[in-house]
Chain A
Amino acid sequence: MLRKLLEHLKPTTPGTFPGGMYPPEHKITATSPISQCPLPPVLILPLKQHIGETCTPLVDVGDSVLLGQKIAKSQGYVSASIHASSSGKVVKIEEHPIPHPSGMGRPCIFIEPDGKDTPDESLEPMPDYRNTEPSTIRERIRICGIVGLGGAVFPSFIKMVRDQRNPIDTVILNGIECEPYLTNDHRLMLEKSEEILRGMDIIMHAVNAKHGIIAIEDNKLDAVEGIRKALTEMHGIDTCNIEVRVLPTRYPQGSEKQLIYALTGREIPAGRLPLHIGLLCQNVGTANAVHNAVCLGRSLTERIITVSGDAVPQPGNVCARIGTPVPFLFARHGLHDMDDVHVIHGGPMMGERLSKLDVPVVKSTNGLLAMKRDTFYSEQAVEEPCIRCGHCVEVCPSGLVPNELAWHCRNDQFDRGQEYDLFDCIECGCCSYVCPSHIPLVHYFRYAKGQVAKIEKEQEFARISKIRSGARDNRLAREQAERAARRSRAKQQHKAASADKAETAGKSETKPAAKETQNTNENNEEEST
């Protein structure tokens, strides 16, 4: 009774978050249904597509693989396996550029598809997941290589650890998609509502959560309707615990921290994870992948991508296999000449601009935007002095003072930068977006973060080197002392032997020698400690 009353008195949740802004949406592909991308002539599968350790290949050149077969196994805990996205033959394993601003290469497995798509049926579908042990489901999610498909690509099973001290109470499904241009989650929610809900139910069962929230922004009301309709028609899941929440459109609401604040009014303490406050946040795409893994026994081998941008003649949403070369995908949307475009991997606010275009689609590819070079923002931007207008402070969702922070970062004052909470920056890009002086603030923050990481690594290296060289000095000293001891012992024996031979002197002569050996032993001990 009292609890009910208290619940009534509880202030309503904020529904939004501090800071943020409203960039033009450009969601031109919102009405184009997801099309299936045909099989490319070659599939390029990087061995690292997630946060964490690189995988080790399980196949060799010349091996035949099946669709969904595990071809690289995860290394360490924070890692996710890679699966073949079609059946065919492994043609080579070598370094190839991956989607990264630097254009750097990573080892990749090249598969030449045979066109048959013969599936690997080693994984049993588990349609009756409700009666399956949660740990089995977690294991299934792990072996299917599922990572967060919103862009962070954090291995999903790790977020679903059951911790007795922090039981997860609510699962939040992130259907916000606040980045301009991107509509892949939107289309997925419209076309795969049931799968998403099923995936959510699986996640809720796996972590034993009682409540579920699906968060969608009010610029996707058709998706809200679709999900609500699917909720009423679903069978076999407890739909009354799942709630669809419509939030006002605002960037960066799709960021986990901001979304949780908007939904619950609670903040994740700095340096902690949502699970520490009893929450689990997953992207809708991840929920769909979980459904495929558990109910259909399919590994993560394809994903939905928004192909858009002002240089793409036929923008659209496409379901493409992981490993599909980016130029192949663009060619399917009518863009053949890539000379005069800049390609962004992800959305315009947080995505990376690719310096090499011959890269494959990876698990984190939620969007591929081709922008005309001559109208591209950074081609025209000229940095001017900061006029301290404070707009960056207003829009920062993390409560930072970006202009001050940028001063410190630009001048390599990383200690001061950390005092100004450098590592609480989520790199959403709001500050750079509103800056009238066109200062690339986020760029400076990334630079500083990288430098701090480098310095810490060097310091760690120096620390280890110091320990090592200290150990070496000790060892050398000990060895020297041991040698000295041996020598003196030998001398003593020699002396004793000669004394025995002579049988002239008595104990008075051997005494100082014994004392000497004792001394060296003592020295020895001191050094070795």
Chain B
Amino acid sequence: MNNSGLISSPHAHGGDTIRANMLSVMLALAPATVVSVYLFGWMAVFLIVLCMAGCMLTEMACLKLMDRPPSALGDGSAALTGLFLALTLPAYVPWWIPLIGCITAIILSKQVYGGLGHNPFNPALAARVVLLISFPLNMTAWIIPMHAGAPLVNLYDFAQCWHLFWLGPESLHQGLDAITMASPLGHVKTEWSRGIGVLEALREYDYSYLDAFLGRESGSLGETSTLALLLGGVYLLARHTIAWHIPVSFIATVSVLALIFNQINPEHFAPPLFHLLAGGLMLGAFFMATDPVTSPVTPHGQLVFGIGCGILTWSIRSFGGYPEGVMFSILLMNCAVPLIDHYLRPRVYGK
């Protein structure tokens, strides 16, 4: 709707736009993206390009089908969803899996609800859950990053990656197992199911907190480097794209729970630092849970939302069947957002 006929005040505007918000999130993801390219070479580039293009094309098709102006693509939300989706995927997945992800994200978790601003679930995360449940094997096979010893595939070699990306590891005469490894969280979970404690498992894995902080470990494209994600998160907070409430309450809840239970039983429950540095906690807390559309609007609501995400994440990691719980916890809390928004409204002046 064009407002040009509108004569109601205010007659000034701060200049903020949806596009600027989306672009600032993409900019905030830049460090994590750079790290992913450093770790996974051309594979990361292919995946990111494929996801962003896939999401934007799907969005364009939807807009056309719904007779909406294609200019809505310019708000950048579809491109951002694509980038988010790529950063949550393992570096090697058959090319059609991300494509299915793009279509799921844009059609099933966004446009069917009415498009931007109306979706109850974070599109990228919802798509990732669909992929994880449909293709569990591919979605948990973490490719060995470039820096970790001598990988069998040179990820900085365009030709090798091109083959791997389109034709799979068989084209390079490798098995999937040979070029992949477990993520720290996955390793701890498997070992625990075999009756081996957390500390022992981490020792076996040759786990280093510094590596985890800098990102020299296996995992999804964008989740490995806590440092890069923190940089982006601080930028978003400074630019006021996101409020501090969700990331702080989310991370604090996980840390407190981890601290308490680690003190009680250090064999079963991993230490807080491990929780903070592992998996998608930072990516989830700063980028996914703070998705404005699917998080509460009030400060109190955001605190409750963050605490809920934290409890669920820690519980799933500690007791659940899946090694990682960030994605599920955010989606579960997304369901609760209308309720939170209804009950946790700010106090009205004079009432």
Our verdict on whether A and B bind, yes or no, reads yes
Chain A residues with CB under 8 Å of chain B are 21, 23, 101, 180, 257, 261, 267-272, 342, 344, 346, 348-353, 355, 371, 376-394, 396-401, 403-404, 420-421, 424, 427, 429, 432-438, 440, 442-443, 446
Q: List 30 A-B contacts (CB under 8 A).
A: A23-B14, A257-B350, A267-B350, A270-B350, A272-B350, A348-B10, A352-B7, A355-B7, A377-B10, A378-B3, A382-B2, A390-B292, A390-B296, A397-B349, A398-B349, A399-B348, A399-B349, A400-B348, A404-B341, A424-B349, A424-B351, A433-B12, A433-B13, A434-B16, A436-B17, A436-B20, A437-B18, A438-B3, A438-B17, A442-B9
Known: A257-B350, A387-B292, A403-B297. A443 touches B6 (CB 8 A): yes
Chain B, interface size: which category? 35 or more
Known: A382-B2, A404-B341, A440-B3. A421 touches B348 (CB 8 A): yes
Cβ contact within 8 Å between A387 and B10: no
| A404 partner residues in chain B, CB cutoff 8 A | 297, 341
Cβ contact within 8 Å between B350 and A269: yes
| A21 partner residues in chain B, CB cutoff 8 A | 14
Cβ contact within 8 Å between B243 and A429: no
| B7 partner residues in chain A, CB cutoff 8 A | 101, 352-353, 355, 378
Among A270, A391, A393, point to the contact of B346 (Cβ < 8 A). Answer: A393
Cβ contact within 8 Å between A353 and B243: no
Cβ contact within 8 Å between B13 and A424: no
Known: A268-B350, A389-B292. A384 touches B18 (CB 8 A): yes
B266-302 to A contact mask, C-beta < 8 Å, 1/0: 0000000000000000000000000011111111001
Stretch from B33-41, B115-123, B213-221 forming part of the interface with A: B115-123
Across the A-B interface, the 6 shortest Cβ-Cβ residue pairs: A429-B10, A385-B117, A390-B297, A443-B8, A389-B292, A270-B350
Q: Does B4 count as interface, using CB distance less than 8 angstroms?
A: yes
| A385 partner residues in chain B, CB cutoff 8 A | 115-118
Interface centre among B2, B12, B296 (most CB of A within 10 A): B12
Q: Does B21 count as interface, using CB distance less than 8 angstroms?
A: yes
Known: A403-B297, A424-B351, A440-B6. A377 touches B13 (CB 8 A): yes
**What CA separation (Å) do A128 and B6 show in the bound complex?**
51
Q: Does B1 count as interface, using CB distance less than 8 angstroms?
A: yes
A259 smallest CB distance to B (angstroms): 12
Cβ contact within 8 Å between B1 and A349: no
Cβ contact within 8 Å between B116 and A387: yes
Closest to B242 in A: A389
| A396 partner residues in chain B, CB cutoff 8 A | 346
Among B9, B16, B299, point to the contact of A429 (Cβ < 8 A). Answer: B9
**What CA separation (Å) do A353 and B294 show in the bound complex?**
36
Cβ contact within 8 Å between A349 and B9: yes
**What CA separation (Å) do A374 and B115 show in the bound complex?**
31
Cβ contact within 8 Å between A401 and B18: no
B169 smallest CB distance to A (angstroms): 40
Given A376-B11, A388-B294; 5 other pairs, CB 8 A cutoff:
A180-B12, A261-B349, A348-B11, A353-B9, A390-B296
